[in-house]
A and B are shown apart, each in its own frame.
Chain A
């Protein structure tokens, strides 16, 4: 069975500092991995994905994520945080051989000025 975990409910970072939001997963086959962001009273917006190829993927708004197969992780990163990055972030995984996508419980990112 596939699963995804976001171990931190909240991450607090000062503006200008690097940020990391953690995600680990479990699938039986090859993973398709996604990051989404949700602003208040809005639907989820796609940030980036890993399907195959380079382990470091770049996405919207300066975010990037690194796929680590041995650690089964797909952490979201940004070199310099902005206050406007404050939002709820969801990691999602899909087994390449299955149809269902599973979302993590979410991490609230708070960037202080």
Chain B
């Protein structure tokens, strides 16, 4: 079975620029998560989708971050404009149910200069 795919793997941008990340979850997984992992810390949930609806986006900085999951499959996470403190690894994960484990993609390492 194919895993969770993410692209790009690495991105370097200047502050105030915009950037977008893409995630393709495991086929059949209804729930998709975006996490931000700052170096030395645990993953922090940014947004959770159930199919194409948002379940939790309470920790998403909505003035600069946006995410969508069209057709309940692929998802994109966008940052506009980026700040220095957005430098982190952005992880996408998917799962089929509430009690099930999450499957993580390899992540996108973002560096904001």
**Are A and B a genuine interacting pair, yes or no?**
yes
Residues of A within 8 A of B (CB): 32, 34, 36, 41-46, 49, 51, 90, 94, 96, 99-106
Main secondary structure on A side of the interface with B: strand
In the bound complex, CA of A45 to CA of B3 (Å): 11
Q: A99-B55, A100-B48 are in contact. Are A44 and B98 (CB under 8 A)?
A: no
Identify the interface centre among A42, A44, A45, A96: most chain B CB within 10 Å of its CB.
Answer: A44
In the bound complex, CA of A36 to CA of B35 (Å): 14
In the bound complex, CA of A101 to CA of B104 (Å): 14
Q: Which residues of A contact B4 (CB under 8 A)?
A: 43
A42 to chain B, nearest CB (A): 6
In the bound complex, CA of A104 to CA of B42 (Å): 6
In the bound complex, CA of A77 to CA of B105 (Å): 26
Choice from A42, A45, A90 contacting B42 with Cβ under 8 Å:
A90
B73 within 8 A of A: no
B91 within 8 A of A: yes
Contact B48 A103 (CB under 8 A): no
A75 to chain B, nearest CB (A): 17
B29 to chain A, nearest CB (A): 13
In the bound complex, CA of A51 to CA of B100 (Å): 9
Q: What 7 A-B pairs are tightest by C-beta distance, nearest first?
A: A43-B104, A103-B42, A46-B101, A44-B104, A51-B99, A43-B106, A105-B42
